[in-house]
Amino acid sequence: MPVDPADLTAPSRWSGPAAVTLRDFLAGHPARNIGAMEDHQIALDYPLLGLIKHCETLCEAACCGVDAFDFSPIHIASSLIRYTGKIESEEVDKVLSQLRNLDVEAERLTRDGGTTSIEVMNQVFNGPALFALSATIRDSLTKAVQLVADVQRFS
């Protein structure tokens, strides 16, 4: 079933003109590599895990942590279409659900304090940094779906 890009544009309190990119946020609030102590670890599952791994293009997470990842719409679009040549709405829905779960964890961390790590990214996040990660991926996912729809329309 094709994905309608309009379905992904629901407003979020973590997106929009006031939203900050993950890299910009971390510049002012540095996350730490996993060697530092963290409260617990988030276990990611597919398809979000596969999407994140696919975006590890700038370096290796073991070396650079979050800076190894390029969450641009083109990389996310490439990840979404790599097996079938089209975007599957079920996969997009699952990723959005997983991002909402990250938001819930970010709210908990913001409220209660503490940090969490995402091992595949070799990164420790506080609540606001985890929100920034989720918002960055969600924004690029929305743009990726639109990008693929535009390419298909002009093909």
Does some domain include residue 23?
Answer: no
Does some domain include residue 13?
Answer: no
Please give the Cα distance from 55 to 76 (Å, whole number). 7
Does some domain include residue 152?
Answer: no
Does some domain include residue 8?
Answer: no
Does some domain include residue 154?
Answer: no
| pTM, full prediction | 0.78
Q: Which residues, 6+ apart, have CB-to-CB distance to 145 below 8 Å?
A: 3, 5, 8, 77, 80, 87, 92
Host domain of residue 117: 31-147
Does some domain include residue 11?
Answer: no
What pLDDT shows up at residue 3?
55
Does some domain include residue 63?
Answer: yes
DSSP-derived letter for residue 86 is S
How far is CA 9 from each of CA 6, 33, 94, 96, 145, rounded to the nearest angstrom? Answer: 5, 32, 16, 12, 11
**Number of domains the chain is built from:** 1
Does some domain include residue 61?
Answer: yes
Single out the residue of 87, 74, 70, 61 nearest to residue 5, CA to CA.
87
Tens of each residue's pLDDT in the chain, 155 residues: 455 544 444 333 333 333 344 545 454 444 444 444 456 899 999 999 999 999 999 999 999 999 999 999 999 999 999 999 999 999 999 999 999 999 999 999 999 999 999 999 999 999 999 999 999 999 999 999 999 999 999 98
